[in-house]
Amino acid sequence: MSLTPIQMEARFTITAKRPDVLAQDEVLYFEARGEDGAITATGFSFGSFGGSADPMGFIGSYDTKPLKTLPDEVTFVPFIRKTIPQGPGKNALFETSYQEENAFTVKVGQ
């Protein structure tokens, strides 16, 4: 994880506990939280190294400019965003499910 007064970039690898952890219409993201609350995400990249139960690489970019102080540690909370189609000519809805029980904290500089 790299952290500057302008941005934070986090890179890590995760392994799903089950191969069916995500449905076809679901995407996994990570909310970053510091001492001042949520840190705004600016971009995500996620790639599988094989099947759905194999390790997946994650790269997240976050905007740290609005923070009063840079945090000493950051907690990453996974959340699943499910797309709910609404029919022809209508915008899809999104359902977000935070996985607080799977959150993890990283000290800056690790």
pLDDT tens for each residue of the chain, 110 residues long? 899 999 999 988 888 777 677 788 888 889 999 998 999 999 888 776 555 556 788 899 999 999 999 999 999 999 999 999 888 989 889 999 999 999 999 998 76
Q: pTM for this structure?
A: 0.83
pLDDT of amino acid 26: 87
Task: Return the domain boundaries, the chain.
Answer: 2-107
pLDDT of amino acid 28: 86
pLDDT of amino acid 54: 66
List the structure tokens of 101. Answer: 């029980």
In this structure, what DSSP letter does residue 92 have?
A: P
DSSP-assigned letters across all residues of 23-39: -TTEEEEEEEEETTEEE
pLDDT of amino acid 97: 95
CATH number 3.40.50.300 is the correct assignment for the domain at 2-107: no
pLDDT of amino acid 66: 93
